[in-house]
Amino acid sequence: MFLRKLFRFFSSRIFIIGVVLLVQLALILSTVIFLNDHYVWCSAVYTALSVLLVVLLINNQEQNPSTKLPWIIVIMLLPIVGAAIYILFGSRYASRHLRRQVMQEVESSRGVLPEHKEVVDGVFAFDPAAGSQCRYLQNVTQIPPYAAGECQYFTCGEDLHPVLLAELRKAEKYIFIETFILEQGVFWGSILEILQAKAAAGVDVRVMFDDVGCLQTLPPRYDQQLEKLGIKCTVFNPVKMSLDTGINNRDHRKITIIDGKTAFVGGINLADEYINQKERFGYWKDSALLLRGDSVTAFNFIFLQNWNLYAPARRLDYAAYCKPQDEGSHDYSAGCIQPFHDNPFDGEHIGESAFINMINAANHYIYINTPYFIVDNELLLALQLAAKRGVDVRICTPHVPDKWYVHIMTQAYYHPLQAAGCRVMEFGPGFNHTKSIVADDKYAFVGTINCDYRSLYHHFECGALLYGVSDVIAVMKEDFLRTEEKCIPAEQVTRLTPMHLRVIRSLLRLFAPLM
């Protein structure tokens, strides 16, 4: 059994790709070192280049200050190798090909969705802070707010599963699925059975999954297997056998859209641990949101941007899929929904800005679920200031980690949060993968965004902000409080932390922006 697992690992795609990339990186760095050691002029050039890179980093107004310090340390401690690594992975020219493609697609979709000034005005009447948030997101994402329509919040994957299957069975025109992880098993198998039947019946079924997210969960060329079943499939940002800095930019979104009438969004990937059919890190806590109404149009828009990016031969027309179901429906009495998306190349940290706006607007409480908490000074300071002005700030993270080093970095933030008056806790039964925020009984967030550098700066993400959708917000608040009953206070976790772990935490936190 052990030998079989060992063979499977060494013959796996992720191992082969990893070895090839490491060999290429080693050749580049060894060439740089060789030239430096054997040619005096190369050494002078490398030294000057290192100094120049540090100066450019310090004066780069577009780069987040949190990422500058670790890169400066790397460059100064390893002036030859560090400069080469920064040019390959950290400079503004990294991912330039993908950046150009993404922004061209964004420009091609500009103006597709109409502005909803009356909805923004309605949100302002409800709450000026929420109105400002709404206006910001509409300006930077091209997506307007919508009347709430029907919403349902799921507090775990096993509750979502039967509802998702029932909605998929209703499809008559099309099904769009975009996910980070897709794994063969009970969850995906039950969905695939429906998708195959719907495709055979003439329904347009399209599936998009992230290549890195599925490296360990799917066999090679799985997209071709789906195509043989009549399901149109594309792979987001395929991993290449060559050094490509775009590998860092992943599609972390999880969206399912049915006929433009129903949409699902949240943290739940299509793998068995997400519905607790398989236990990996204790009980898996997660969440998702079902939406019906005109806001589904926005998720069509979000899906089409990435689909058209990687399946240009089967490009879909925005106008055909982004028209609201009922343009005369403007009942805002049940609240509003502001869908939004983020990509790493738009010059805006939209997810982080939306979170900071919510934190700053909170007057009574703000409850946050996140699997990871590795943030920059701006987001950390916003939470600390909120607690100091009397807001009840509570943050729930996992107790059973999926990645030990990420968990250690998360715990490094507990002390500064607690010192400011925030309550931090860990979900005792297992892994809390929920990505949600609820505040003041007035507004909330559900989506795919973690409170970490990867989600906030490197990944393609999406979510929905809810304004005044009181029934759903009440369910989210109740779910957080019930979850809190199963949590372990952070001070109990960190009280007896050995000194060597404290040192590791400090070092990992310093280099967190580069991970």
For residue 355, pLDDT over 50 is answered with yes
Band the pLDDT of 496: cuts 50, 70, 90: low
Contacts 24+ apart (CB under 8 A), 405-409: 405/508, 405/515, 406/372, 406/374, 406/452, 406/515, 407/372, 408/501, 408/504, 408/505, 408/508, 409/372, 409/374, 409/505, 409/508, 409/509, 409/512, 409/515
Determine whether 201 is exposed, middle or buried from the number of CB atoms within 10 Å of its CB (0-12, 13-18, 19+). exposed
Q: Inform me whether the pLDDT recorded for 499 exceeds 80.
A: no
Question: What pLDDT is recorded for position 390?
Answer: 97
Q: Same domain for 371 and 316?
A: no
Contact status, residue 308 vs residue 315, Cβ threshold 8 Å: yes
**Residue 328 has what pLDDT?**
47
Has residue 243 got a pLDDT over 70? no
Lowest mean pLDDT among 66-70, 229-233, 318-322, 363-367: 66-70
In sign, the C-alpha dihedral spanning 269, 274, 279, 282 is: positive
Contacts of 173 (CB under 8 A, 6+ apart): 203, 204, 259, 260
Tally of domains in the chain: 3
Place 444 in a pLDDT band, splitting at 50, 70 and 90.
very high
- Each residue of 104-159: pLDDT tens digit? 998 989 989 988 777 788 778 778 888 899 999 999 999 999 988 899 999 999 99
Let me know if residue 128 belongs to a domain: no
Residue listed under structure tokens 């059919």? 277
Confidence of residue 424 (pLDDT cuts 50, 70, 90): very high
Are 324 and 360 part of one and the same domain?
A: no
Mean of the per-residue pLDDT values of the chain: 87
Q: Of the residues 93, 117, 134, which one is the last residue of a structural domain? A: 93
In angstroms, the CA 204 to CA 197 distance is: 11
169 occurs within a structural domain: yes
340, part of any domain: no
Nearest to 395 by CA among 485, 284, 513, 490: 490
284 and 430 housed in the same domain: no
> 70, 93, 116 — which closes off a domain?
93
Predicted pLDDT at 181: 97
Q: What percent of the chain has pLDDT over 90?
A: 58
Residue 106 within a domain = no
What is residue 75's predicted lDDT score, i.e. its pLDDT?
77
Query: Which of 13-27, 54-68, 348-362 is predicted with the least confidence, judged by mean pLDDT?
Result: 13-27
156 and 219 co-located in one domain: yes
Supply the pLDDT for residue 2.
55
The answer as to whether 206 is a domain residue is yes
315 and 205, same domain (yes or no) = yes
Could you give the CA distance from residue 468 to residue 465 in angstroms, rounded to a whole number? 10
Instruction: Give residue 215's domain range.
Output: 146-334
Q: Determine if residue 26 is left, alpha or beta; phi over 0 gives left, psi from -120 to 50 gives alpha, anything else beta.
A: alpha
Residue with the bigger pLDDT between 181 and 346: it is: 181
For residue 219, tell me if it sits in a domain: yes
Q: What's the pLDDT at 9?
A: 58
Task: Assess whether pLDDT exceeds 50 at residue 383.
Answer: yes
Q: Sign of the C-alpha dihedral, residues 108, 112, 115, 119?
A: negative
In the structure, what pLDDT confidence band is assigned to residue 513 with cuts at 50, 70 and 90? confident
Answer whether residue 16 is part of any domain: yes
Average pLDDT over residues 344-373: 94
**Model confidence, pTM:** 0.90
Question: In residues, how long is the chain?
Answer: 515
Q: What does the pLDDT read at residue 6?
A: 61
Is 38's pLDDT higher than 80? no
DSSP-derived pairing of the beta strands 430-432 and 232-236: unpaired
- How confident is the model over 164-168, as a mean pLDDT? 98
**What pLDDT sits at residue 476?**
98
Same domain for 365 and 467, yes or no, is: yes
More reliable by pLDDT, 92 or 108: 108
In the predicted structure, residue 325 carries a pLDDT above the cut 70: no
CATH number at residue 188: 3.30.870.10
332/481: higher pLDDT = 481
User: Are both 328 and 356 inside the same structural domain?
Assistant: no
Per-residue pLDDT reduced to its tens digit, 452-465: 989 998 899 999 99
Question: What is the C-alpha separation between 341 and 302, in angstroms, rounded?
Answer: 7
Residue 66's pLDDT band (boundaries 50, 70, 90)? confident
pLDDT at position 206: 98
In terms of domains, do 238 and 327 share one? yes
* Average confidence (pLDDT) over 292-318: 94
What pLDDT, on the 0 to 100 scale, is given for residue 335? 85
Mean pLDDT, residues 285-297 taken together: 95
Neighbours of 483 (CB within 10 A): 20
Whole-number pLDDT of residue 126: 75
- 208 and 291, same domain (yes or no): yes
Based on the domain organization, do 366 and 330 belong to the same domain?
A: no
Domain membership flag for residue 112: no
Backbone angles phi, psi at 245, to 5 degrees: -65, -15
Task: Evaluate if residue 24 carries a pLDDT over 90.
Answer: no
Please state, for a pLDDT cut of 70, what percent of the chain lies above it: 87
* Same domain as 382, residue 319: no
Could you give the count of Cα atoms lying within 13 Å of 467 in the half-sphere of its Cβ?
28
DSSP state of 312: G
Together in a domain, 328 and 368: no
Quote the tokens at residue 266.
Answer: 């949240």
Predicted pLDDT of residue 404: 87
